[in-house]
Structure 1
């Protein structure tokens, strides 16, 4: 089995595991017509950007809010870290029909 893995296993050749995972990630990114958060190596991009902005990991329960309502706009000026989901809910607005507004 060791010899097979070293010489014949297609996953260990160029185009194997790493490149196939990258292709899979790229194929799945930007799916959902803007309704899903993009991911960066398995983590939500806005959370990674917020951690870089703060210079520390997010604490359990902290929520990242997009000020302009655009989930794909991960500019640090557009992100706000809130201490809880309850605080995040207070920042959201509903229109007269009860739908969430941006």
Structure 2
């Protein structure tokens, strides 16, 4: 909705999710999610981050590495710069965007640091 018609913005109503589950319990089963995922897989240009079930795959892999959910402020960095390479050995987790930027300032020649 536009701000003109909804100046307060979109508000999520938790009760609607519960209502949808009651009205149509078979709608988003795991098999349905897998079918949707397969139909969309490899259809893009590869210019953005890969997603798994609507979540950026690199964040999902980082959560598995850490054994916990990532905090909203945590940033996952791709060491080799390839945003499609989600191997655990290629990922670093920073506690904040500031910490991530400081790493780039030290190590990335685009930010004045030494190239790796």
Q: Normalising to structure 2: TM-score of the pair?
A: 0.58
Return the offset for 1:86: 1.4
Which runs of no fewer than 5 residues in structure 2 stay unpaired? 1-25
Which residue pairs with 2:11 in the alignment? none
C-alpha RMSD of matched pairs (Å):
2.9
- TM-score normalised by structure 1 residue count: 0.65
Question: How many residues in Structure 1 have an aligned counterpart in Structure 2?
Answer: 84
Match of residue 47, structure 2, among 26, 35, 44: 35
- Looking at structure 2, the residues matched to 83 and 44 of structure 1 have their Cα atoms a distance apart, in angstroms, of 17
Higher strand share: 1
Superposed displacement of residue 22, structure 1: 3.8
Larger RCO: 1 or 2 (CA < 8 Å, sep 6+): 1
Provide the residue aligned with 1:83 in structure 2: 95
